[in-house]
Amino acid sequence: MEERGRYLNVVDVEATCWDGRTPDGMVSEIIEIGLCVVDLAERERVERHRVLVRPERSVVSEFCTELTGLTQDEVDTGVTFGEACALLEAEHRAHTRAWASWGDYDRKQFERQCAASGVPYPFGRRHTNAKATYSEAHDLPRKLGMAGALRHAGMPLEGRHHSGVDDAWNIAALVLKIDARGCWPS
């Protein structure tokens, strides 16, 4: 049995995007869910997962591929959004385990996409905006992006920026820094 509050899911999503205006008939959809499980008791990152999600109402633009490294062919091998949400619950206890993301974009994107597709929201109510928490913990006058926070913390960016799985891994490292300062919410 999992101790309440011991494990934290750190989530980062990548979504279809365009350079400029969203093309007519398309909407931004999640195409990758990166997840890193953090053991707060042991202060370590213990699991790293990547879920590719097949978009249903948009396509991966050249701009999106340049940013994320993901191609249309690659995401076409992914699961549906509904299957991805079910997997988050089945394999990562998403509905009962606390979770965090860098900012509120990821939470809001899930809320929007769940509402639009009729898929049940996979997460519980215990979400922490790690970006705001990092800024508060360090008395920063403004909120830093993830890469800026890593520089501020003197930590390397591991992997590719704007890769959901790599960003979740890096955000989890920042969460552990916040927790080591005694500033992570329980």
8-58 pLDDT, tens digit each: 999 999 999 999 999 999 999 999 999 999 999 999 999 999 999 999 999
Q: What is the DSSP letter of 96?
A: T
What's the pLDDT band for 2 if we cut at 50, 70, 90? low
What is the CB neighbour count within 10 angstroms for residue 77? 8
Distance CA 89, CA 64 (A): 28
Strands (E) located in 19-119: 30-39, 44-52, 99-101
SS3 142: coil
What's the pLDDT band for 1 if we cut at 50, 70, 90? very low
CATH class (in words) of the domain with range 7-180: alpha beta
Given a cut of 90, whether residue 4 has pLDDT beyond it is no
Given a cut of 80, whether residue 167 has pLDDT beyond it is yes
- Residue 186: per-residue pLDDT: 79
SS3 76: coil
Residue whose token pair is 């890193």: 36
Q: What is the DSSP letter of 94?
A: T
- Residue 100 backbone dihedrals phi, psi, to 5 degrees: -140, 155
Whole-prediction pTM: 0.96
pLDDT (mean) for 88-94: 96
- Residue 52: per-residue pLDDT: 98
Given a cut of 90, whether residue 67 has pLDDT beyond it is yes
Distance CA 163, CA 145 (A): 14
What b-and-e string marks burial along 126-165, b requiring 16 or more CB atoms within 10 Å of the CB?
Answer: ebbbbbebbbebeeeeebbebeebbeeeeeeeeeebbbbb
143-164 pLDDT, tens digit each: 999 999 999 999 999 999 999 9
Strands (E) located in 6-106: 7-15, 30-39, 44-52, 99-101
- Residue 5: per-residue pLDDT: 83
